[in-house]
Amino acid sequence: MIIKSYIENTAAAALKKIREEMGQQALILHTRHIRGGQYGRRIEVTACIDESLVRSLKSLIDVNASDRPGKPGVRGMDVDDSLKVTVDRPMADESAMVAIPEELRKVYDKLIDFDIPVGPADKLMKDIQKGSETAPLADGSVRTKLKSSFESLIKREVHIPVGSKVMFIGASGAGKTSTLAKMAAELTAFRRTKVRLTSFDTQKISAYEEVGGYADLLDAPYEVNPQKELKVDRDEVLLIDTPSMSYSTDGITAVQSLINLVRPDIVFMVLSVCNRAEDIIDFKEGIQIVQPNLLIATHLDETRRWGSMLAAAIMTGIPLAFVTDSPGGVGQLHVPDPERILAKMMNDKEAYRE
């Protein structure tokens, strides 16, 4: 068995090189992050191939040429050393030695290109292959199973009763305030529910004006950084904006303290699909500490790669409740459509055409 580790800026780039140099029969062993590169972090993907298959390949990489720090390439290792390293290094969540049948390789590559990291992509592959170990899967069957996997990550019915406190948390730029505004408009215009807006965001200079502007448009009361106990009337829904949640321990602790103070009934974690899925997964433990009830994905109109929202749901076990594909407070919150997501991933021409 030949084992090689490829170091690239992204998982997609590493997998592409593996396919080119080791062939379609290569198996992914594991992945890990390492320091270096333009953004301070790169990814190493370790793959293997049966030595008997190597003779049929037209060319092999020079395993000694690219063993230079800070440069994309491949590091060759003796088999014994490689196996020891493979066992000793911590594997990415859910990433193990996954054999991918020929009929699923294009789908797997689509998952990676959609910004679903190797670990969650491997899990989806395992789900697709369950119950079909004895016969190849037809294209229609693969799509059906993948759609079912996407469906399992979605919470279709979200009930927000009057008298509830609803909090929105997330990193800077995720779209917490605009998502709050969309939900306020939904509750006011379509459900005829009275809303009140509150913001604890003292970090953003325009927080008062932004929340106040949305409140004025909806003819709703609002307050910023209230110093008294936050109570909610029985006939209203209180929507609460929060400061940005950084990836640091202090940032997580601050949001957790605010949750403990306010004691919201529902906590939405707002994630932008423009954020790299790997970054969201790195933040998995922080997300699980604050224990949001549901996920909301934003900025679907700004990228064709939506995999980070699926990866977040897979890795945290928190369902995806809504998505948004319009800027600011304009537009609506949508329940995620698995068929639409699948079409987008597969680059179907009709994907998300309104």
Give the closest residue to 155 by CA, choosing from 69, 250, 231, 266. 266
Give residues with Cβ within 8 angstroms of 233, minimum separation 6.
Answer: 163, 194, 196
Give the closest residue to 283 by CA, choosing from 322, 246, 321. 246
Q: How far is CA 179 from CA 160, 165, 279, 304, in A?
A: 15, 15, 21, 20
In the sheet with 165-170, reading across from the earlier edge strand, the strands are 222-224, 194-199, 236-241, 165-170, 266-272, 294-298, 320-323
Question: pLDDT at position 349, please?
Answer: 58
Report pTM.
0.72
The DSSP bridge partners found for residue 31 are 45
Tokens 């932004």 -> residue: 210
325: helix, strand or coil = coil
Q: Which domains does the chain have, with CATH numbers?
A: 1-91 (3.30.70), 165-335 (3.40.50.300)
Give the closest residue to 196 by CA, choosing from 172, 226, 171. 226
For the chain, 354 residues long, give each residue's pLDDT as a single digit of tens: 678 888 887 777 787 788 788 877 777 777 777 766 554 567 788 888 765 544 444 344 344 444 444 444 444 444 344 333 333 333 333 334 456 777 788 899 999 999 999 889 989 988 888 866 656 666 678 889 999 999 999 999 999 999 999 999 999 889 999 999 999 999 998 889 999 999 888 777 566 678 778 888 888 998 887 767 788 999 999 999 998 888 788 888 889 999 999 999 999 999 999 988 888 877 787 888 889 999 999 999 999 999 999 999 999 999 999 999 988 777 899 999 999 999 999 986 544 444
109: helix, strand or coil = helix
Question: pLDDT at position 292, please?
Answer: 95
> DSSP string spanning 24-92?
TT-EEEEEEEEE-STTSEEEEEEEEE-HHHHTTSS----TTTT--TTSSEEEE--HHHHHHHHHHSPPP
Tokens of 60: 């092999």
Q: Residue 140 and residue 142: Cα distance in Å, rounded?
A: 5
Question: pLDDT at position 13, please?
Answer: 78
Determine the length of the chain. Answer: 354
Helix axes 338-345, 139-151, angle to 10 degrees: 130
Q: Residue 297 and residue 261: Cα distance in Å, rounded?
A: 26
According to DSSP, residue 190 is labeled I
According to DSSP, residue 301 is labeled G
- Opening angle at CA 91, ends 88 and 97, nearest 5: 100
Give residues with Cβ within 8 angstroms of 26, minimum separation 6.
Answer: 18, 19, 47, 48, 49
Question: pLDDT at position 135, please?
Answer: 60
Half-sphere exposure of 179 (CA within 13 A, CB side): 30
Amino acid at position 319, single letter: P
Dihedral sign (CA 18, 20, 26, 27): positive
Tokens of 143: 């799509």
Tokens of 38: 């333009």
Q: How far is CA 130 from CA 134, 141, 142, 144, 263, in A?
A: 10, 12, 11, 13, 41
Question: pLDDT at position 354, please?
Answer: 40
Q: Residue 228 and residue 210: Cα distance in Å, rounded?
A: 22
Question: pLDDT at position 66, please?
Answer: 45
